[in-house]
Amino acid sequence: MGKRIENIKVYTEEGRFVPGAVITEGAFIRRIAVGESGGKVMPSGSGAAEIIDGGGCYCIPGMIDIHLHGCRGQDFCDGTRRALETITAWEASAGVTAIAPAVMTLPVRKLESVLAVAAAYRREQQEGKTLPGADLAGINMEGPFISPAKKGAQDARYAVPCDAGLYRRFQEAAGGLIRFVGIAPEESRDAEAFIREVKEEAVVALAHTNADYDTAMAAFRAGAGHAVHLYNAMSPCTHREPGVVGAVADSSHVTAEMICDGVHIHPAVVRAAMKMLGTGRVCFVSDSMRATGLSDGRYTLGGLEVAVRGNRAELVSDGALAGSVTSLPDCVRKAVSEMSIPLETAIACATVNPAKSLGQWALRGSLSPGKLADLVLWDGDLALRAVMKSGEWLAPIRPIRP
């Protein structure tokens, strides 16, 4: 039986909230009804639908985190099925219905093992052999093609220049799941050749890079199309040396990640970046590490020890920021409540833009007929009320009034 969720404010592809209803059938959205009638209809059967009163909530697409490491004590680079089960389940329970977790800078064989476990888990998801949780929609290859000068919380001992042969080893191990491959172009004389060779297979991103403006622009002209956590672990932007940030601003095809946890980027810089890039080029990400969802204490990230106090995670060795302990939904809330980003814009940065960056806009990222019935209900205070994944409500969350 399908479901009709009514008495909600539906987030449309035009980036507005309008009163209406969402009608699902199986795992997909069949129709969006605005007001008393209207909406596009996906050709489908017409069985009876369970009617659910959404209580006037905001209804938004399931959020998509294209850069996270872990949560609830588990890390993607643990390379275990347990880690993937924990991460996908917890993310979905918070309203994140698709993820592209990031790999750290680790030994090649360790990375191949992590990627192989992820590929097997994704196959199990597609075959319905896993518990309901966020889709493993891709992998963000943050390392190992980074610059030791901008290593952040990465282990510089394992950093290597970008290499197409090694990338393809990783992609083979991942079963084709790698959607983003990060590089520091200044670390290789062949960076532009690398970009041209692999850009049709994955989005090449600038990540943990000390590139100057000209080097970054050359990479973007060669076909790189993404920037990993803008402002963090990259050359600074000043009035005479605009660095990677300036190159991103001048390259209209490039999307950029931003961590809106209130720690990684000052609210004024978030606002400035939104004005500089426009609402269609920014992807909010969490960069969350294994301490997310847990208490203060000592944890690890990429084999390095991390101290967590409040909403700040730092390497014990040198105090460098070591990811975040804030979920993507909480980053959206902070962007709205503490950074003066309009709700409609913040939602797009956590749904529409990541889906397009992943190359999965036809399947997810908006409430549209034919797309997956992945949706989230938030009340007027942006508190979570319900999550639907592929047309089914996720326990322990329930519809407001079934």
Two tokens, residue 222: 């060669």
- Amino acid symbol at 136: L
- Work out the number of other CB atoms within 10 angstroms of the CB of residue 32: 23
Q: Which letter does DSSP use for residue 302 in this model? A: T
DSSP string covering 244-299, please?
A: HHHHHHT-TT-EEEEE-SSSSS-HHHHHHHHHHH-TTSEEEE--B-TTTTS-SEEE
CA 87 to chain centre: 13
Residue 116 to residue 84: CA distance in whole angstroms: 12
What is the bridge-based pairing of β-strands 96-99 and 135-136? Answer: parallel
Known catalytic residue: 296? no
Task: Find all residues with CB under 8 Å of 351, minimum gap 6, and list them.
Answer: 11, 60, 61, 62, 63, 64, 365, 366
Q: Which of 287, 318, 330, 379 is catalytic?
A: 287
- Give the CA count within 13 Å in the CB-facing half-sphere of 59: 32
Residue 117 to residue 202: CA distance in whole angstroms: 20
Residue 75 to residue 289: CA distance in whole angstroms: 7
What is the bridge-based pairing of β-strands 139-141 and 392-393? Answer: unpaired
Residue 343 to residue 73: CA distance in whole angstroms: 30
CB crowding 281-298: b at 16 or more within 10 Å, else e = bbbbbbbbbbbbbeeeee
Q: Which letter does DSSP use for residue 195 in this model? A: H
**What residues are annotated to the active site?**
287
